[in-house]
Structure 1
């Protein structure tokens, strides 16, 4: 039941490139190309003939298209504000200043959106963002400008963050997790509360107060899918569901140290995976719940695994439990939380949704190293919340960033599903 961990330095065994069964992609011809260039032969290709072909009848036509981007050339628009004196009273009237025209010279919305996109969506360091803008767009911006516009974008997201926190707070099922982030030579944490349609990050420490600081979890009454971290235990109004993938990893770790003496771990893993398969089959069949007999069978197997684990891991003379014994008692104490997915089919077996949503934090650190300040990490969290949620709704990242700098942040619908 418990597969061995992959050996460090060894690949998965899959070949590189497209995997079998993965969807392919190719460029399709467009119906209305921007330019059409006709290529006609001038003379007959027959070396004996060599007749000129100006009046020859067309025999066939192949369509071949090349997609290219134009050479970047910034467009400068000058706004002339003309004051006019009234002939009757002498009053001088000035026109209103257009939105986004705040000074004598400034960059436009597209430039700002591109800078934030390169930083928050592609995780580039500020200096490389400035270089990219110059090389690909022909716009020579400073590193200070990139920092300034990223800060401005995060500041503009206040209404989005409040709206998202309110939506998440009333979901039936919510995923929560946290991951460390290096800040100024130390560690802080990025917390996430999410569903398949919504993502909200916030930055801070790792205490219960930091968990609550996102504004979503205090008073939450749905089901919270999480790992075993103790800082979530104070959320008494919520139902809790323990991530099955974390539990399987814990069982594997115990079993690998002593396969002969920790057979209970394999039995428990088999029970969890059996229950997972039963719930997946029930959902595929359109059922709302497992039968009472199915739930009873799962719990009987679960109780047997716990009893077996206690037999194999009795306390020592001082009453202390080994690592394996402690894990046995964890399963005994938290049975209902661990098996929540068997009594509510809307609850998934794993917390993979939160783990997937948190991956950009690690990707950012790999590409751009650490954050210098906690505020920088908070700005990153706000922007990733915005871009992740927009992507889940099929929104284009550049489009929602342009909207952020014009009419205000894009907002997910109030009826966003769990």
Structure 2
């Protein structure tokens, strides 16, 4: 869980406890231990398949010398990590097993679209695209989009303090403002591409206002949950076998789900292994 390579784990066990273990011995220990996390992972998956709001994201990883992906799905009650050789929508369909949440939160990647009644596009991703356009173009449209996004983020900070009627009125006002910005003519190719991109996602930008406190305007939660896997990738350069990738995903599933209730990773791992 601490993203130690076999070599560093050998050194740590030797320095701290005087234990001398081969890398093959460490591998056997990890492989035997992973079975204890299967039931916890299955429970988290079952909880996820009942959630009304689900967020997802993925990052690249090397497994058995080939390009693969580490996915994460999470709700208010569960976090599920999944190792997969593909980035396709089949991963989402298999994970949800027919369950269709009320809202899905993700970026604009096609494979993560169409899995819920409504979709909240990550506004942080769009904000980065808009910031790039502001820096590289003299066109005023990206600047207006940046101001619009700032208004949305400011509203998001107080979304639980406002009445439903107030949020509905503010949503209509923001949508009118966005419509005017998207309709503004421009001779800048970057601006037109940005307008088209945001226009395609227009009905997915303010969904969080209809679900105050339950839906986030960004997918930063998924990115935070993926960050340890990115560190793991940089430290170890990937996994030698699929069982290792699947085993770590199961451990992270159990630990991250327990964290939602305040449990520490170390105590969760001890409790699971000792069960």
Return the match for 1:135 from 5, 15, 22: 15
| Bigger helix share | 2
Q: Distance in 2 between matches of 1:265 and 1:191?
A: 32
Considering Cα pairs closer than 8 Å and 6+ residues apart, tell me whether 1 or 2 has the greater RCO.
Answer: 2
**Cα deviations by residue, 1:5-51 (Å, 9 ceiling, x for unpaired):** xxxxxxxxxxxxxxxxxxxxxxxxxxxxxxxxxxxxxxxxxxxxxxx
Aligned counterpart, 1:267: 144
- Counterparts of 1:13-412 in structure 2, within 5 Å, are 120=1, 122-195=2-75, 197-204=77-84, 205-213=86-94, 215-216=95-96, 218-235=98-115, 237-258=116-137, 260-261=138-139, 263-283=140-160, 285=161, 287-288=163-164, 290-308=166-184, 311-313=185-187, 322-345=189-212, 346-407=214-275
The higher radius of gyration belongs to 1
Distance 1:292 1:223, change over 3 A: closer
Q: For residues 289 and 279 of structure 1, what CA distance do their matches in structure 2 show?
A: 15
- The question of whether the paired residues in 2 share the 8 Å contact of 1:154 and 1:382 is answered with yes
CA RMSD of aligned residues (A): 2.1
TM-score, normalised to structure 1, is: 0.61
8 A contact 1:241–1:337 mirrored in 2: yes
Paired position in structure 2 for 1:98 = none
Q: Deviations for 1:293-335, whole angstroms, at most 9, x for unmatched residues?
A: 3222111111111112xx1058xxxxxxx45323312222321
Partners in 2 of 1:238 and 1:149 — Cα distance? 44
CA contact (8 A) 2:74 2:80 kept: yes
CA drift of 1:267 comes to: 1.1
Unaligned runs of 5+ in 2: none
- Rounded Cα–Cα distance in structure 2 between residues aligned with 1:233 and 1:357: 20
Q: Which runs of 4+ in 1 moved over 6 A?
A: none
Distance 1:329 1:210 in 2: 28
Q: Is the 8 A contact 2:141 2:191 kept in 1?
A: no
Give the secondary-structure state (helix, strand or coil) at the position aligned to 2:240. coil
Shift of 1:360: 0.5
What TM-score comes out, normalization by structure 2 length?
Answer: 0.90
Q: Which residue of 2 aligns with 1:70?
A: none
- How many residues matched? 273
| 3-state SS, counterpart of residue 290 of structure 1 | helix
**What SS does the corresponding residue of 2:13 show, helix, strand or coil?**
helix
Rounded to whole Å, the distance in 1 between the matches of 2:238 and 2:167 is 50
Whether the 8 Å CA contact 1:178–1:189 is kept in 2: the answer is yes
